[in-house]
Chains A and B, each alone.
Chain A
């Protein structure tokens, strides 16, 4: 599982748009190339926003797990 490599896990549950994405960007900025960062979000908008952002920036969305009342997005800073 890619999970074992998660370097930082950010709990942004309870925060609304654009909070979880901003938290993820903050975490990714502080990470090195190749690092994997996970963010938890209970904001339904994140389910569109975070994959859109990852695609635009050109990183890799390793996983988007549905945990019912929140999603867990795992992102690799691939470049």
Chain B
């Protein structure tokens, strides 16, 4: 098992973001170093405050009918919002979050408009060069 996990976060829907944050938590718990490369709709979800704003939380169209039920179950089961889970993972272990430079420019976003968990930006070559000794997941 490699001791580094790199995750490409491409999707901005809460189902995938929640699964991503939970898996990242498991990885840091088991002592792995984690790097996130956040791109496309994933990057939009890292915009400051987006995770707390119901109007900016999305589900894939085919699962939209499950939205209210999911929200209710998350509350009754004590499942934290994905960003909070990611913040806890970062507090407990080695998690670095990099915004994709190209997406950032495409959306006209600046780093200071993103959540504080974002450590900086990287181009694709920079991220791929970090993957030689890592397992890579796409979310």
Contacts and interface: CB of A to CB of B under 8 A. Distances in A.
Interface of A: 14-19, 21-22, 25-26, 29, 43, 53, 56-57
Interface in B25-57: 25-26, 29-31
A18 B31 contact: no
Given A22-B29, A53-B29, A56-B31, A16 B79 contact: yes
B109 interface: no
B25 to A, nearest CB: 4
A22 B79 contact: no
Given A15-B78, A16-B79, A17-B22, A22 B31 contact: no
A22 B77 contact: no
Q: Please classify the interface of chain A as helix (H, G, I), strand (E, B), loop, or mixed, using the class held by over half of its residues.
A: helix
B15 to A, nearest CB: 15
Contacts of A26: 88, 91-92
B5 to A, nearest CB: 15
Given A15-B78, A16-B78, A22 B30 contact: no
Contacts of B71: none
Nearest to B1: A56
Given A15-B80, A53-B30, 9 more contacts: A16-B79, A17-B22, A18-B25, A18-B85, A22-B25, A26-B88, A26-B92, A29-B92, A53-B29
B89 interface: yes
Nearest to A21: B29
Nearest to B22: A18
Contact of B89 (A22, A29, A53, A57): A22
Given A17-B22, A18-B22, A57-B31, A25 B78 contact: no
A17 to B, nearest CB: 7
